Amino acid sequence: MLEQPRKMFQAVVVFWLLLDLVVKQTVLFTMDLHQSIPLWEGVFHLTFVRNYGAAFSIMQGQLWIFFLAMAALTVLVIWFWFNERPRHWMPVLGTALVVAGALGNTFDRLMAGSVIDIFDFRAINFAIFNVADIGITVGCALFLTWMLFMSGHMQWSELFSRKRISDEEAVTALACADGQTATSAEALAGSVPQAAPPVKLSWGERLEARLQKWESDLDQD
C-alpha cells in the first residue's frame, strides 16, 4: 500500500505531461508535416501528422464531444478519489496516466486546435498516436485490471478459484440457493461431522456456492 498516494498521483501527472510536451515540441521543431522516419521499415515509423479529432484520430470535427468527455472524466476522477481514497499503486497510477493524457491532448486543442501525433505502428495499420494516447490506454488498462481482480468490488478471482471452500460455506450457500432459511442452513452446516473428511465438490457446485455467497455478501453490504 502507498503511504502518500496523492503525491504519487501528482508526480505521475506532471511527469507524463512534461514527457508528452517534450516529445511533441521535438517533433514540431525537427520534422516537417507528414514526414515519416522509418525506425523499422514497414512496421514502426515516426510520422508527423496533426490530429483534429480525439485520441487515435477519432471524432474528427466533433471536438465538443471530446470536451464534454473530458469534463465527465474530471468529475469521475474527483468522485473516485473522494469516495475510494485509493492506496494501491494500480488505481493511483492508472487514474494519473488517464488524467495526464487527457490534459496533454486538451492543451494542444486549446492552443493550436489540433494534436501532434507521431507514433506510426504500421504492422497492423493502426492509427498514429502520441504519448498522451499511450497514457490514456495504459491508465485505463491498469484501472480496469485493479477494479476487476484486486479491488474487492468484483471478486472474479475468488469466484473462479478452484480452491476448496469450507463445508459450512458450501452447505450454507447451497441451502440459500434452495430457498431455505438461515436457521435451516446453520442446522445443515452443523450436521456435518467435524471429524469428517473434506467434502469434494465439483467445479460446478463450487461455482454455484461462490455465486450464492457473493450475492449474499453484496446484499449485506
> Which residues are part of the catalytic machinery?
117, 133
Query: CA separation (Å) from 98 to 17, 104, 164?
Result: 11, 10, 39
Rounded to 10 deg, the angle between the 131-149 and 89-112 helix axes is 150
- Cβ-in-10-Å burial (0-12, 13-18, 19+) of 207 comes to middle
Quote the cell numbers at residue 89.
Answer: 499503486
| Beta carbons within 10 angstroms of residue 111's beta carbon | 8
Q: Residue 212 and residue 172: Cα distance in Å, rounded? A: 9
- Is 109:63 a contact under the CB 8 Å cutoff? yes
Backbone angles phi, psi at 61, to 5 degrees: 75, 10
